[in-house]
Homo-oligomer: A and B are copies of this chain.
Amino acid sequence: MPDLVRFGVSLDKSLLKKFDRHLAARKCPTRSKAIENLIREEVIGGEWLDGRSPVAGTLTVVYSHHKRQLVNHLLNVQHDYQPIIISTQHIHLDHDNCLEVIVLKGKSAEVQDLADRIRAAKGVKHAALTMTTNV
């Protein structure tokens, strides 16, 4: 179970008013929730810059399946990084394109490395890395 700590924050009244309006537009129920989200994004960003921190993330890859060698190449690259890959989901996006989501857990430098290698493969149209966290 989460172990909650409560603390006070002082904020300029007019900034708080703008923030509340912003939250209403984004459907965010409470300030606490919104501030928690901002803090988590900030912490994740810091962990990502520091290559040694353990992170969780997903790599979204779109590629043309018409190149049969590409499918094998992507499998080979993934096997080189087997210890940091948890699982892979494959979607037939349309007639020409596949979308694959690779769930990753490891040091951010390794995760970034895998993303670079997949992005560099001929026929890969897009490889977007999303960093998240279990904290």
Contacts and interface: CB of A to CB of B under 8 A. Distances in A.
Interface of A: 1-16, 18-19, 22, 25-29, 31-44, 46, 49, 56-58, 60, 62, 64, 66, 86-87, 89, 91, 93-94, 96-97, 99, 101, 103, 105, 116-117, 119-120, 122, 125-126, 128, 130-135
Mostly, the A contact residues are mixed
Contact of A60 (B42, B58, B86, B125): B58
A2 B64 contact: yes
- A-B complex: 7 closest residue pairs judged by Cβ atoms: A38-B38, A89-B89, A3-B13, A58-B60, A22-B46, A97-B134, A128-B130
A73 to B, nearest CB: 12
Contact of A39 (B1, B15, B60, B119): B15
A132 to B, nearest CB: 5
A60 B132 contact: yes
Number of copies: 4
A109 to B, nearest CB: 12
Given A1-B66, A38-B39, 4 more contacts: A5-B12, A6-B11, A22-B46, A58-B99
Given A3-B13, A9-B35, A91-B87, A60 B130 contact: yes
